[in-house]
């Protein structure tokens, strides 16, 4: 599945109403959590696509994909979120 297919899938999911939208307001402890907006997701998708074009690897631990960064030695990518590493 490439990034365009994933983006199309995500947009289809965003257009459908969520079951939690009809539920009552969250408790005050959850009130400070902000929902993910479509613009934020699109921005992260564009960032991941650009990183992929520049030769960076993408980790699938999150959606949108997490950009893997080069380690100190310069021959190994690692994910800052899940700490998975891959040689290139």
Instruction: Quote the pLDDT of residue 66.
Output: 92
What span, in angstroms and rounded, lies between the C-alpha atoms of 2 and 48? 12
> Across the strands, what pairs with 76?
87
Which structure tokens are listed for 17? 């109403």
Q: In what order do the strands lie in the sheet with 85-87?
A: 69-70, 76-78, 85-87
Q: Domain extents for the chain?
A: 3-87
Decide if 46 contacts 7 (C-beta within 8 A).
no
Per-residue pLDDT tens, the chain, 88 aa: give them.
567 776 766 666 544 444 444 555 555 554 454 566 888 888 999 999 999 999 899 999 998 899 999 888 778 999 999 999 988 6
Longest dimension (CA), the chain: 51
Which structure tokens are listed for 73? 């030695």
């Amino acid at each position: 599945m490439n990034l365009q297919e994933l983006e199309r899938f995500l947009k289809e999911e965003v257009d459908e109403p969520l079951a939690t939208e009809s539920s009552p307001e969250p408790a005050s402890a959850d009130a400070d959590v902000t929902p993910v907006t479509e613009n934020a997701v699109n921005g992260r998708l564009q960032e991941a696509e650009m990183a992929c074009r520049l030769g960076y690897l993408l980790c699938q631990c999150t959606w949108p994909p997490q950009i893997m960064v080069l380690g100190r030695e310069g021959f190994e990518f690692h994910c800052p979120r899940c700490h998975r590493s891959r040689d290139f």
